[in-house]
Structure 1
Amino acid sequence: MKIAFTERIDQFQKVQQCTIHSLHKDTSFLDNAKPITSDEFIERRDRLAAALHASGADAFVLEPGYTFQYYGNISQTDWEPWEPEERPFLMIVEPFQKSSREIIAKTSFLAPHFEEGRVRMLGIPAREKHLDIIIWEEHWNPYKTLKDKLYPGDDERVVMVDEEMRDYIVRGLSQNGFKTVGLNAEVDAVRQTKTPAEIELLRAVNTGTVEAVRAMRPCLEPGLTEDQVTAILDNAMLSVGFSLFFDIVLFEENAALPHGGFVTGGKVLTYDSMVLIDVGAHYLGYSSDICRSFFIDRPSKRKSLFSHPLHQQKLDVWDIVLRAQAAARKQFKPNNTAASVDIAARDVITDAGYGELFSHRVGHGIGIKAHESPYLNKGNTHTILKAGMTFTDEPGVYITNKFGVRHEDIYLIREDGEAENLSGGEAKGPWEP
């Protein structure tokens, strides 16, 4: 038993070293990725202000999270690494009419008095030299303090919040002189349309994640477990400076559920295993979300099992899903509906006889979050695609008790021509993911 355990450790280390060595042969995917500048954060808030003005809203209110990260470069973990606080720390963005043609953002913050110093040390990008911080003491009503400071008087003010805002904060605002409204399409579009800097970050993290899978595949050997492959891939991504987000590694029937079941991790890899890996990482605040389905290499001496009916079905399904992905990709054009992308992939899979086994939407927006709006499902006929939007394209077929196949890449909608792949190119074959 000790010998077998030692052999497994040696195998893991060998495959790990092989993967990292292969990945580091070419890390040019990182060359054009730069942190978002302070000027771009300010410009984002100005675009938000223009959208708020057009929407008739007095302000946009947000707390630390992905939206705060987008507009203020602060995530929830940057502010409270353990869990979200009960004391509200809010950013307030108001439209300010600088001239008859120009709307800019006036940005202020609501913070507990004892946290004022920490807020100033966060380095939030700002047009002004010093942040405008409205402080409240522990025995004060923070929402009334905010209303009295920004909008003295009895007039109700319309403030917009997004889905990340916690309910008790929305209620606090609503009970103290604010009319809260949800995110509308015009304001949501500010984040949906990516800038050149964002596109390069998405290209870097998504191409790098795909390249990590591609570097690992030829190194994999029978006998490794799903958990071991997960660890190998995680370590490879860490080695190029990515931070870990999620990593789902599934073999054979475990992949018949798109995200696996409760009991996975221990299945052992064989030459005949269909491997499904759905993985995302973070780099400079932006997310990857890609999926590959593949086989490992067989030794040349080993007789192929291509004639086995189940193996042939795996090859057939692999090709069907790739064709579905290509059909969806062709719909990534300005003025098409979000629904059209899903329907195109679904038609290919349905025509091949597997329609009921494609059980999820074909994709979603991606940016600082792996899952962002708009969402690509066949019912989303009201969302119109625009140049600059970025999406996943991830059709799949899942056959209970047998296997699952999914291909996922990231695409940028361009003004003219076909969508651009931001994840290093589509899979080429079951042994070339």
Structure 2
Amino acid sequence: MEKQGKTQPQLRTRRPSRLSRSCIILAISLFLFSFMLPSRTSFFQNQEHKSNIAKVQKCAIENLKSDLSFLDAASPIEEYEFLDRRDRLARALVASEADAFILEPGYTFQYYGNISQSDWEPWEPEERPFLMLVLPRISGGVISAKTAFLAPYFEEGRVRMLGIPSREPELEIVIWEEHWDPYSTLIESQLFSGLADRKPKIVIDEEMRDFIARGLANAGFQTQGLTPEVELVRQIKSSTEVEVLRAVNTGTVAAVRAMRPCLVAGLTENEVRDILDASLLSIGFSLFFNIVLFEEDGALPHCGFVVGQKKLTHETMVVIDVGAHYLGYSSDICRRFFIDGAAKPKRACLNFLSFFSDKMGLFKQVPHVETELHAEKLRVWKIVLDAQTAAASQFKPNNSAANVDLAARKVIEEAGYGYGFTHRLGHGIGIKGTIFQLEFNHILTTSPYLNKWNTKVALQPGMTFTNEPGIYLEGKFGVRHEDIYLITENGEAELLTGRRAAGPYSP
């Protein structure tokens, strides 16, 4: 028997070394990490951003609440003042040779009837006329106001529950049934029975809707718009009104000023708006309007397109145009500013970045462009402030509204930016300031108006105005400074916003 040959060695699979296995695991881990990193990074960045917003909000509110002395002198309008307003209105109606002033729920109704904004919701203007009438009555040579109302029959009890101040023990209400003509019912009532055969001459409020004005005219009333005498009643503010206006406007500026040092890069326009809103609410103000715009978004006075997502940087010109309500009165202020610069990096890091950028040839042209734009922002900021100063010097009794506007316009035109001052200088302010409904492009302000053609209106002590010159460079940025001024007897206007802006880092 032959000897068997040597057994052939069996083929064996070579096991990877520990090093090879480690490389495979590392490769797989890197592959998975490359997919997970963006989502993990986004998650943590989002959490950090939310934390930043909360910190900024807390900082802003704490800064604002550190000094609330601007609220100390403000108090609600008392009942006697509403009655006095109507008596002054009655005297204005006699001077206007009018038999009555007629208005429906709105700002003017609030002014004369003590219907606060919070009460508008249960009684907004609707298709059934609910009207207030103020009629002059003369007794012993003294002119006083008689106040009455036109209301649907089924709403009579509701009208009496409004708590409208009255000298009479019970409100006088002319009621009408659903199948009656309310306007004919009013003209045939005892309110106008002493006018013989002539048509009652009535002044209708500027807020009155057209169908009601036409209904009154068709029923036989001789209607006319606001007369200068009637407008002047609301334009001249009492000392109580002035203190409320001072509180709400100073407080609104204080809220912006308290928020600014807390702001950080990366916040959006909407986030800054929400932070400011929360700050105003924290001190008992109610929200009115709030426009926050960055850079070229602020190059139109009231914007006019969808904004909100532009992010804040240290070079951003921040635009804030904001108003709030307090005790029934409005604020309307505007500030332009920069946020504080970023913390300086460590010297070693700074040297490395400088060396790297030099070697790679990066950023050689950018500093010149940014510096030129920044310099223009600072220059325009100062020009607009100088224009505001010039206008403030013209707030004197008996000066014309036109002269105030022209003083500001002259400064801006001489600086070469006349083309960028595209609106009037300002408007009156009281219970009504500026209403912005941007989605409908609806803006509502109150007289008198400060524009270069308004030569007929003479300023009177007690009038309050916005002073808001601006320069708008489309595609780049816009600057507007807005403060509130009171015309005084001594000829030097009184600032009702605490203090003006001191610099682009001190609004």
Q: Is the 8 A contact 2:104 2:125 kept in 1?
A: no
Q: AA paired with 1:361? A: R
Please say if 1:376 is aligned against 2:450.
yes
Equivalent residue number for residue 222 of structure 1: 265
Equivalent residue number for residue 364 of structure 2: none
Equivalent residue number for residue 167 of structure 2: 127
1:97-149 deviation digits (Å, cap 9, x = unpaired): 0222x100011011111111111110001111211111111111111111111
* Structure 1: 5+ residue stretches without partners: none
Equivalent residue number for residue 395 of structure 1: 469
Equivalent residue number for residue 195 of structure 1: 238
1:164-222 deviation digits (Å, cap 9, x = unpaired): 01111111111112111110101100000000000001000000000000000000000
1:140 to 150, 161, 180: 180
- Aligned residue for 1:308, secondary structure, equals helix
Distance 1:295 1:243, change over 3 A: same
TM-score (norm 1): 0.97
Q: Is the 8 A contact 2:378 2:504 kept in 1?
A: yes
Please say if 1:268 is aligned against 2:311.
yes
TM-score (norm 2): 0.83
Distance 1:133 1:142, change over 3 A: same
CA distance in 1, matches of 2:121, 2:197: 34
Post-superposition offset of 1:77: 6.3
Root-mean-square deviation (CA, aligned residues, Å) is 1.5
Please say if 1:66 is aligned against 2:129.
no
Distance 1:217 1:335, change over 3 A: same
Q: AA paired with 2:105? A: P
CA distance in 2, matches of 1:361, 1:63: 29
Equivalent residue number for residue 28 of structure 1: 69
CA distance in 2, matches of 1:252, 1:106: 54
Q: AA paired with 1:9? A: K
- Aligned residue for 1:111, secondary structure, equals strand
CA distance in 2, matches of 1:54, 1:83: 31
- Once the two structures are superposed, the pairs formed by residues 87-98 of structure 1 within 5 Å of their partners are 87-98=128-139
Post-superposition offset of 1:154: 4.2
CA distance in 2, matches of 1:417, 1:139: 57
1:10 to 40, 45, 51: 51
Post-superposition offset of 1:299: 3.2
CA distance in 2, matches of 1:418, 1:267: 41
Distance 1:259 1:386, change over 3 A: same
1:210-261 deviation digits (Å, cap 9, x = unpaired): 0000000000000000000000000000000111010000111100011113
Please say if 1:322 is aligned against 2:419.
no
Q: Is the 8 A contact 1:68 1:75 kept in 2?
A: no
Q: AA paired with 2:316? A: S
CA distance in 2, matches of 1:79, 1:376: 30
Bigger helix share: 2
- Aligned residue for 2:188, secondary structure, equals helix
CA distance in 1, matches of 2:158, 2:236: 32
1:258 to 301, 304, 307: 301
* Structure 2: 5+ residue stretches without partners: 1-41, 351-366, 434-444
Equivalent residue number for residue 144 of structure 2: 104
The aligned length equals 431
Please say if 1:346 is aligned against 2:346.
no
Q: Is the 8 A contact 2:314 2:342 kept in 1?
A: no
Q: Flag the structure with larger Rg.
A: 2
- Aligned residue for 2:287, secondary structure, equals strand
Q: Is the 8 A contact 1:64 1:90 kept in 2?
A: yes
Post-superposition offset of 1:88: 0.5
CA distance in 2, matches of 1:368, 1:35: 13
Q: AA paired with 2:395? A: F
CA distance in 2, matches of 1:419, 1:151: 44
Q: Is the 8 A contact 2:395 2:491 kept in 1?
A: no
Please say if 1:85 is aligned against 2:126.
yes
Q: AA paired with 1:126? A: S
CA distance in 1, matches of 2:111, 2:175: 23
Post-superposition offset of 1:151: 2.0
Q: AA paired with 2:164? A: I
Equivalent residue number for residue 214 of structure 2: 171
Post-superposition offset of 1:430: 0.5
Post-superposition offset of 1:4: 1.5
CA distance in 2, matches of 1:45, 1:82: 22
Q: Is the 8 A contact 1:327 1:348 kept in 2?
A: yes
